[in-house]
Amino acid sequence: MSLQLEEPRLVLASGSTARAAVLRAAGLAFEVVPASVDEAAAKQAAKAEGAPAGEAALMLATLKATAVARRRPESLVIGCDQILVRGETWFDKPADLPAARTQLLALRGAPHVLETAVVCHRHGAEIWRHLARPRLVMRDFSEAFLDAYLSAEGESVLTSVGAYRLESRGALLFERIEGEHAAILGLPLLSLLAFLRQHRVLMS
């Protein structure tokens, strides 16, 4: 027996394999339709306006959900975004392994926050939004460890805003983690499931 009702259909407006894996692990049926938006330009505009990183993440999640919802008006579209913040600095996915090394050295021995946004659209309107803020503290690892880590992980680190995958060897980088595991992976699952129950997408 399915715990998910047939309607409305769920659409994930993201090409993230980690987010899709989180939803599949929870037993949800959904379609993946990556949104085509200029994330770099939107993020740059948000910074220029002095927007906090969390507000920028919500804006980007909204842009993605809106873009896909135009094509799937009857579906419940889930848009997501995540921005890593250390102090006043925002980090993006590293372009290559040298950039990943530089980024991880900048994060070493210090806390950072993952501003993790999720927005849902249906029938041309936003119906829900949520912002999770997991806090992670990297340990003061050696450069020899870092080089070995990057060699072991390879280009998979380029798929993550933090240059780490917590579901893999990335856990070895950390001293302390505060927050929902799924939110660190890019999708605040428990809050989303609560909303889906309230919206009668899932059995309550």
Catalytic residues: 81
Instruction: List helix spans (H) across the chain.
Output: 17-25, 39-48, 53-69, 97-107, 143-153, 181-184, 189-198
- Looking at residue 95, what DSSP letter applies? S
The tokens describing 51, both together, are 């927007």
As a whole number of angstroms, the distance between CA 157 and CA 160 comes to: 6
The tokens describing 50, both together, are 């002095």
The SS3 call for residue 78 is strand
Residues 55 and 112 sit within 8 Å (Cβ to Cβ): no
As a whole number of angstroms, the distance between CA 176 and CA 1 comes to: 39
Which DSSP string do the residues of 125-172 spell out, in sequence order?
EEEEEEEE--EEEE----HHHHHHHHHHHGGGGGGSTTS--TTTGGGG
The tokens describing 109, both together, are 């021995």
Residues 144 and 126 sit within 8 Å (Cβ to Cβ): no
